[in-house]
Amino acid sequence: MRQSQLFTRVSRQVPKDEVSKNAQLLIRAGFIHKEMAGVYSFLPLGLRVLNKVIGVIREEMDAIGGQELSLTALQEKALWEKTDRWDDRKVDVWFKTVLKNGTELGLGSTHEEPVTRLMTQYVNSYRDLPLLAYQFQTKFRNEMRAKSGIMRVREFIMKDLYSFARTEEEHAELYASVRAAYLRIFERVGLGKSTYATFASGGIFSKYSEEFQTVSEAGEDLIYVDEASGRALNKEVFTDEVLADLGMKREALVEKKSIEVGNIFTLGTRFSDPLGLKFRDEHGEERPVLMGCYGIGPGRVMGTIVETLSDEKGIVWPESVAPFRVHLLSLGQDKEADRIYQDLTSSGIETLYDDRTVSAGEKFAESDLIGIPYQVIIGKKTLESGEAEVKRRSDGSVDKISLVDLSEHFRVVVG
Ligand code: ATP
Ligand code: MG
């Protein structure tokens, strides 16, 4: 894409009403737009990143046999009354509305109820199980606090997956497969080293749930990490009994602030019982389906990447989620740069081409702020030597690559 045609612009001004680093950087660099407190729109650069994050999650969900669907945001009161989750005293984040005829509707903050009811139409026999169903869908939550930029918002896309199993063992297998997929997802989006599967309170059907917590000063949670074993637990469950139960030693634990990027939960029959989701086993006996739920917020993941990987110059996107792979900067050498742009794009290399007539200093500073992994600099000197400077955003290292080999370099050499 030609940057001259991008309608967003980089701003030097730090937005005054934003306290979080992710919102400040993402707004300045033109990735997001604040509509109101806790409500952000995604602009072209931001949407590209969000979609990359979604793409990684989708690949991993499909790889474990997840079937993608899309449930509605609008929710029926009667359904949620069956599980006792319509009452605002039970679920305090509801957005609700009343139609002219008096019908009350809610905007879904999660989807256990509709997905469980849906499955009663399709699951009858043991032959219909196990199954995994997931979606990327807009949730609405009337969150109290909204100071964490895109990490805690009132309208956001969630990836929510639900598992349906016949036995405890089968549930444990599904749970383990989703857990492993989550670890791969956080690794692929650049958060692998800083993210811990963390024991948290479990509810009625299992002792613990697991949260995927990324260590960050911007986090709202506190966790205790045993760095030697890589195990962690949330402060909210931290008692001597729990430590003994998990075989963790108090002396080995280090307290850290962290961001909950994902969360996996055993539901047992919490929803299948009240909503009548049952199956007939091999002996013709009716049994409740055992469920689990597994969430990740792609927007929160994106905000966490900005919080944890950016530097004093701006954002540093990992290649897997960067809006573009290459930022081509023409320093007044548009004819040659045009040719290189054609070459890169026709080789399938996603390139943002800064073809604007602004100073070199401005181009460098803005490119560092936007955070595309590779800057390809085409200046007068470059052309004389027949080589482009290729600067890696993450560590500032520079390689000189022959102009004729550039697209090959990005296709093969850099991977
Ligand atoms: P938190 O404790 O941070 O409020 P939660 O326990 O309510 O999170 P879940 O209901 O399990 O979160 O949601 C699954 C995932 O959705 C979370 O792990 C997080 O990545 C994301 N998420 C939850 N609430 C928000 C929000 N308000 N804004 C953005 N993403 C969110
Ligand atoms: Mg919450």
| Per-residue pLDDT tens over the stretch 101-138 | 999 999 999 999 999 999 999 999 999 999 999 999 99
Q: How far is the CA of 139 from the centre of ligand 1 (A)?
A: 10
Q: 141 CB less than 6 Å from ligand 1?
A: yes
Q: What is the pLDDT of residues 62-73, one digit of tens each?
A: 999 999 999 999
pLDDT at 383: 86
Query: Among 32-36, 176-180, 330-334, which is the least confidently predicted range?
Result: 330-334
Residue 329: C-alpha distances to residues 2, 261, 314, 375, 401 (Å): 11, 34, 17, 7, 15
Average pLDDT over residues 347-357: 97
Question: Which of the ligands is closest to the CA of residue 154?
Answer: 1
Q: 256 CB less than 6 Å from ligand 1?
A: no
Choosing from 26, 266, 300, 305 the residue with most ligand 1 atoms within 8 A of its CB, the one to mutate for a pocket test is 300
Average pLDDT over residues 274-281: 98
pLDDT at 413: 65
Q: 66 CB less than 6 Å from ligand 1?
A: no
Q: 296 CB less than 6 Å from ligand 1?
A: yes
- Distance CA(156)–CA(150), nearest Å, equals 9
pLDDT at 134: 99
Residues of the chain with CATH 3.40.50.800: 326-413
Share above pLDDT 70 across residues of the chain, in percent, rounded to a whole number: 99
Phi, psi of 199 (to 5 degrees): -65, 135
- Distance CA(321)–CA(137), nearest Å, equals 19
Mean pLDDT of the chain: 96
pLDDT at 231: 96
Burial class of 184 by CB neighbour count within 10 A (0 to 12, 13 to 18, 19+): middle
* Residue range 3-309, CATH number: 3.30.930.10
- Report pTM: 0.97
Q: 45 pLDDT exceeds 60?
A: yes
Q: How far is the CA of 104 from the centre of ligand 1 (A)?
A: 25
Q: What is the pLDDT of residues 287-306, one digit of tens each?
A: 999 999 999 999 999 999 99
pLDDT at 415: 56
- Distance CA(112)–CA(100), nearest Å, equals 28
Q: How far is the CA of 297 from the centre of ligand 1 (A)?
A: 6
Q: 249 pLDDT exceeds 80?
A: yes
Using CA positions, which residue lies closest to atom 14 of ligand 1?
295
CB atoms within 10 A of CB 222: 14
Name the pLDDT band for 144 (thresholds 50, 70, 90).
very high
pLDDT at 414: 64
Residues of the chain with CATH 3.30.930.10: 3-309
Q: 321 pLDDT exceeds 60?
A: yes
Average pLDDT over residues 191-197: 97
The residue type of 253 is L
Q: What is the pLDDT of residues 147-176, one digit of tens each?
A: 999 999 999 999 999 999 999 999 999 999
- Given the candidates 3.40.630.10, 3.40.50.800, 3.60.10.10, 3.30.420.40, the CATH classification of the domain at 326-413 is 3.40.50.800
Name the pLDDT band for 140 (thresholds 50, 70, 90).
very high
Q: What is the pLDDT of residues 362-414, one digit of tens each?
A: 999 999 999 999 999 999 988 899 999 999 999 999 999 999 999 999 987 66
Using CA positions, which residue lies closest to atom 13 of ligand 1?
295
